[in-house]
Structure 1
Amino acid sequence: MAFFLPILMLPGCQDLPKRDAKASGISLPASWQTPNSDTSEAIPHWLSSFADPLLTALVHTGLSQNYDLQAAAARVQAARASAALAGAGRLPQLSFSPSYQNNNDVVSGRFSEFSALFDLSWEIDLWGRIRSSQQAAQHDAEAAVADLRGARLSLAARTAQTYFELVEAKRQVQVAEQSVSDRQAIGDLVRGRFNLGLTRGLDVRLVLTDLANAQARLADARNQVQTITRRLETLLGHYPEGKTLATTQLPAPPANLAEGLPAQLLVRRPDLVAAFARLRSADARLSSAQRALLPRLTLTASGGSASPALAEIIGPHAAAWNLAAGLTQPLFTGGRLQSGIYLQKALVTEALNNYRSTALNAFREVEQALAAEQWLQKQEQSLREAVAQTQESRKLAIYSYRQGLIQILTLLDSYRSTLEAQSAHLAVQRQLLNNRINLYLALGGDVDAIN
């Protein structure tokens, strides 16, 4: 009866559950919640949309030379090899064992023997236990492929964002250099008025203090350039020698893109594809663990020839063979098999909830980037106006100071306002570009057509 009990349990060892990548268990809206969103299919390639040849060249250099990406590609090859290993048990295993034996003892006397034997073993996968294990490894390989695609997208995004950050830092250096030059001009003006007795020594001290602060800010801006430059070189797989780029022009943000529907994200984004593949892998491992309760049928065979003389080993009288079939039924394993089933069930639950969590985070990233796009555009427009206004106020301030109508602090404040407005405007221009990259990355769009 104990032998047939696992057979009766066979209906509980069902095939892999039917799962739909779009059925994440999260209630999805028909469209993204950001107003005025385009619900058509998302743009597949985003790098060329910036129309920046240098950016394109840098990204492709990183994709071909970055060491982290090469390590991710090696993990794909390892996962595929593991899948092949997992499926090897479904096929017969054949080995060849040639040998020579020479004995000389008082009991059996002296004799020698040549042998050439073949050994064959084959576990018949009656219930699909090995097949399920192979399917699990294949899903792991699919997850590794998706991880590699995600790593490529992430590297391309980080390269582009670091490039934008570097260009902005170089522009910040230009703004800081102009600020130092302006402070020096103001210093010359105030010292001239001081020598004529038209202003106080305090004004000279205030101007020199402001000049020193502007020079410190310039030094910090130049340090930012070298730091970002070395970070970019590392992403590209180059030695971080600090050789900066010649460009100082940020590209214009591409036109608004079509982001597609929320449900499309579940089958397009690499991290979601990988999480779903790992869920399917957990399903397959649970199926394999359940089928381990069932009997195993193994065929073994050996054959070959043996002879005292090497020349006679191929003769028909030297041939020998045997064939056996064995059935193994686990009866008592100390709870190992049942514990394995409980473990795999827990891992399935974990993988399912990881998939749902990854999906929810992906939706948040898209909604967040879509909303940020609108607010950053409004912020950029306001700061552009602020730059224009501070430039005009600075002209009025220098004129008013020459006429003795305002104090030196008012003049210095006007220059500081111009510096802050220009610096903030550059920062938000870069943030707009970075947010667009974040949106492309959140949507899972490909880098370019050649990838």
Structure 2
Amino acid sequence: MTRRFRQLLPLLTSFFLLACSNTSEVDKKLTNPSLPDNWQESKQALSVEHNWLSQLDNLQVQQLVTKALAANHQFAMQAYALKIAEQQLIVSGSQLWPELDLSFRSGRSKDNQSDSYANSNSVNLNLSYELDIWGKLSAADQISNYNYLAQKATFEQYKQQLVVNVVTTWFKVIEADKLLSLYRSRVENSQQNLAIIEGRYRSGLTAALDVYLTRNDLNNELTRVSEQATEKTKLIRKLERLIGEYPKGELLVNANLPLLTNDIPIGLPSELISRKPELKASWYKLLSQDAALAYAHKQRFPSIILSGSVGDATTDIGDLLSGSSLAWSLLGSISAPIFNAGRLQANEEKSRIELRQGEQLYLDTLYEAFSDVENAITTEKNLKHSYYTMLAAQENAKIAATLSFEQYQSGLVSYTTVLDAQKRSFEAQTTLIKIKNRLIANRINLHLSLGGDFSAQSLENKVE
């Protein structure tokens, strides 16, 4: 050991201890956050069920999901983003290994004074390796690792969201079709009423006002049918976009809105953290920011690089690597930042602030996820109650509409009473269809909020 190296050893040792002392700065409370023992709106703690898509028991919707996973453009973009993150992982990992380069040069020059020519040929094999004594390169590799894991979890979350979008849009098409059928029946009913009223008017049994009111009611219903047909067409186009088949315009949906009233297992709040992809992605992003802080800190310490080369140079290209003139060199260099106007210190402090910001973002994502589950549970209970009360209201409104028209024909009530009763019946039927679909949509979103998987292995989309 040379005298100069012995003089530098204490300094290098102090640098090493200082650099390695930079451990994780993520708030320890985040690794074990304070969570409730159970959900506020439920006391059951059965494990969350996966494969919820099969519970719908409909072949068409499962086929649409399969098509979306294979042809949706946004989903394909997410798949490519995951592949990019995977390649970046390889790039960052390569920095931990030596770099070996081979170079070859060949040239010919002329000396004007002697009017002679000279050939030059050389080949060199160069080796370069940075010693990762501070863990700087390892920190950079950790950043890529966590970014890859975050992207992978984001990809899974997007996949689940895509399936939810396909299924909920499919049910919206069914809802639009049911409402369109209801509106068309209303048109038929208004046309029948108009024929009766006009007949009574010609017989002198009713006033002209009733005729105009009936015609106005018929025109309103015709307008509603036209608007609903447009809405259904738009929803079909949206569904075709999701499954990658736009603009065929050939998608036919023929199904009923199921009544989903059975309870679903929702598990424990503590299980949500490890199950929901969105939360896992947020956590990995936070760990990536923590690794970025470590990297910024270690940038302030010296870099130690070893380099070596083996080469040969001759005038005759045929004599290269003959062994007679091979040359080699082995060098070591240390470079340390001395003055950079506070740039490295500012970068470290910037990374520390970004980490604190990331902690708040993770907490916000975490508690938003819990809130989504709680809200979905509460909404489902209220929708179930609303459905049964509206079901009774619909039956009462239908009876009232029939009685009011009979009483009108007997001269007991005015025609405005008939219109009001028919409007109440129509609104009750419309609301009942919408509540049933809201129950379905809320149930599907509850599965998404819980992080439950949507299907069996056969529908999984693999990233090739």
TM over 0.5: yes
Structure 2 unaligned regions, length at least 5: 1-6
1:78-227 matches, within 5 Å, as 78-106=84-112, 110-227=117-234
1:283, CA displacement in angstroms? 0.9
User: Aligned partner of 1:99: which letter?
Assistant: R
Normalised TM-score (structure 1)? 0.95
Residue 368 (structure 1) aligned with residue 375 (structure 2): yes
**Is the CA contact 1:16–1:284 (under 8 Å) kept in the aligned structure 2?**
no
Shift of 1:328: 1.6
User: Does the 8 Å contact 1:153/1:447 carry over to 2?
Assistant: yes
Please say if 1:73 is aligned against 2:79.
Answer: yes
Using the alignment, how far apart are the partners of 1:352 and 1:244 within structure 2?
Answer: 45
- Cα-to-partner distance string for 1:67-93 (whole Å, 9 max, x where unaligned): 000000111111111122112211111
Question: Does residue 240 of structure 1 match 2:247?
Answer: yes
CA pair 337-21 structure 1, distance change in 2 beyond 3 A: closer
Q: Which residue of 1 aligns with 2:265?
A: 258
- Structural mapping, 1:419-438, within 5 Å: 419-438=426-445
Q: 2:409 aligns with which of 383, 402, 405?
A: 402
Aligned residues of 2:293 and 2:351 also touching (Cα < 8 A): yes
Alignment correspondent of 2:4: none
Cα distance in structure 1, aligned partners of 2:246 and 2:172: 19
Q: Are 2:24 and 1:17 equivalent residues in the alignment?
A: yes
Instruction: Tell me if the contact between 1:266 and 1:272 (Cα under 8 Å) persists in the aligned partners.
Output: yes
DSSP-derived class of the 1:316 partner: coil
Q: Structure 1 counterpart of 2:375, which letter?
A: Q
Answer yes or no: is 1:386 the counterpart of 2:393: yes
Partner letter of residue 376 of structure 2?
A
Instruction: Identify unmatched segments of 5+ residues in structure 1.
Output: none
Shift of 1:126: 1.1
**Is the 2:20–2:135 contact (alpha carbons within 8 Å) kept by the matching residues of 1?**
no
RMSD: 2.1
Whole-angstrom distance in 2 between the partners of 1:61 and 1:121: 50
Contact 2:38 2:268 in 1 (8 A): yes
Q: Residue 19 of structure 2 contacts residue 301 of structure 2 at CA under 8 Å; is this kept in 1?
A: no
Residue number among 46, 57, 62 corresponding to 2:52 in the alignment: 46
Q: Amino acid of the residue matched to residue 224 of structure 2?
A: R
How many Å separate the matches in 2 of 1:342 and 1:101? 51
Cα shift at 1:400: 1.2
Moved more, 192-201 or 245-254: 245-254
- Checking the alignment, whether the CA contact within 8 Å between 2:126 and 2:310 is kept in structure 1 is yes
Change (3 A) 1:157 1:22: farther
* Residue aligned with 1:126, SS: coil
> Which residue identity lines up with residue 71 of structure 2 in the other structure?
Q
- Deviating more after overlay: 249-258 vs 349-358: 249-258
Checking the alignment, whether the CA contact within 8 Å between 1:118 and 1:302 is kept in structure 2 is: yes
The CA distance in 1 between the partners of 2:153 and 2:140, in whole Å, is 20
1:272 and 1:360 map into 2 onto residues whose CA distance is: 10
1:367-426 deviation per Cα after TM superposition (whole angstroms, max 9, x unaligned): 000000100000111111111111111221222122111111111112111111110000
Q: Secondary structure of the equivalent of 1:110?
A: strand
* Deviation at residue 347 of structure 1 after TM alignment: 1.2
Query: For the Cα contact (< 8 Å) 1:6–1:294, is it kept in 2?
Result: no
Moved more, 190-199 or 387-396: 387-396
Question: For 1:118, what is the secondary structure of its paired residue?
Answer: strand
Q: SS of 2:95's equivalent? A: helix
Q: Identity rate of aligned residues, in percent? A: 28
CA distance in 1, matches of 2:255, 2:217: 27
Q: Quote the Cα distance in structure 2 between the aligned partners of 1:448 and 1:296.
A: 51
Q: Could you tell me which residue of structure 1 aligns to residue 284 of structure 2?
A: 277
1:193–1:139: structure 2 CA closer, same or farther, 3 Å change rule? Answer: same
In 2, Cα distance between equivalents of 1:428 and 1:14: 59
Identify if the C-alpha distance between structure 1 residues 5 and 420 changes in structure 2 by more than 3 Å, giving closer, same or farther: farther
User: Match for 1:374: what amino acid?
Assistant: K
In the TM superposition, what are the counterparts of 1:295-314 in structure 2 within 5 Å? 295-314=302-321
Q: Which moved more, 1:80-89 or 1:103-112?
A: 103-112
Q: 1:336 to 1:3 in 2, by over 3 A?
A: farther
Is this contact kept in 2: 1:51–1:251, CA < 8 A?
no
Closer, same or farther: CA 33–22 of 1 in aligned 2, 3 Å: farther
User: Secondary structure at the residue paired with 2:267?
Assistant: coil
- What is the correspondence of 1:335-346 to structure 2 with a 5 Å cutoff? 335-346=342-353
Question: What amino acid is aligned across from residue 172 of structure 1 in structure 2?
Answer: L
CA distance in 1 between partners of 2:103 and 2:59 (Å):
63
**Distance change in 2, residues 1:157/1:389 (3 Å):** same
Deviation of the 1:252 alpha carbon? 3.3
Q: CA deviation at 1:255?
A: 3.0
Distance 1:5 1:314, change over 3 A: closer
**1:111/1:327 CA distance change after superposition, 3 Å:** same
Q: How many residues align?
A: 450
| AA partner of residue 24 (structure 2) | P
Does structure 2 retain, via aligned residues, the 8 Å contact 1:168–1:248? no
SS at match of 1:302: strand
By how many angstroms is 1:110 displaced? 3.1
Question: How many Å separate the matches in 2 of 1:250 and 1:258?
Answer: 22
State the Cα deviation string for residues 230-254 of structure 1 (Å, max 9, x = none).
1111111111343342414113327
